[in-house]
Amino acid sequence: MSAPNSIPAATADDWSRLAELLPHLRIVHHVRGRLRLRLGAGVLELLAQWPDVAPDDWLARLPGVTALQMNRLAASLVVEYDPRRIPPQWWERLLRAQSGTLPAVLAEVDLPAGHAPYMFSRLEGASA
């Protein structure tokens, strides 16, 4: 996995793809420092179109995320995070973000708005 500084700059299409996934994610349980996301059928359909992409790839790159556990059979993702780095209420803002607001929401947790989430850099690299 590349260091964050080597990730290519995001394109409008990158943010659009991430924004396309977000409405299909739902928080089903959240305590400070740990949340469980339900992956809706829409996510599974999108992932079928993008076989080399996993939602946990870009979440793992967020500063403050300490552990991830994906369960594809249960269509869930457990995210453990440092609440000193990522405020608990930030996750709701992330899930409501749209293409135009996504860079600013990611910048709130120190992910530079000029960098694409890792999952999209892999897609773009395959077509270049």
Sketch the domain layout of the chain as residue ranges: 23-121
Kindly write down the DSSP assignment for every residue of 65-124, as one continuous string.
EEEEEEETTTTEEEEEE-TTTS-TTHHHHHHH--TTTHHHHHHTTT--TTB--HHHHHHH
Name the amino acid, one letter, at 62: L
Round to whole Å and give the CA distance between 45 and 1.
25
User: In the prediction, which pLDDT does 72 show?
Assistant: 80
pTM of whole model > 0.75?
Answer: no
User: In the prediction, which pLDDT does 32 show?
Assistant: 96
Asked if residues 79 and 68 have their Cβ atoms less than 8 Å apart, the reply is yes
Round to whole Å and give the CA distance between 67 and 80.
5
- Which stretch of 22-26, 36-40, 89-93, 120-124 has the lowest confidence by average pLDDT? 120-124
Q: List pLDDT tens digits, range 77-122.
A: 899 999 999 999 999 999 988 777 888 888 888 765 555 444 344 3
Q: Select the more confidently predicted residue: 35 or 106.
A: 35
User: In the prediction, which pLDDT does 31 show?
Assistant: 97
- Which stretch of 31-45, 56-70, 109-123 has the lowest confidence by average pLDDT? 109-123
- β-partners of residue 115 are 9
Assigned CATH for 23-121: 3.30.1360
Round to whole Å and give the CA distance between 117 and 21.
12
From residue 77, alpha-carbon distances to 3, 30, 35, 93, 110 in Å are: 23, 12, 8, 18, 22
- Give residues with Cβ within 8 angstroms of 86, minimum separation 6: 62, 63, 64, 65, 109
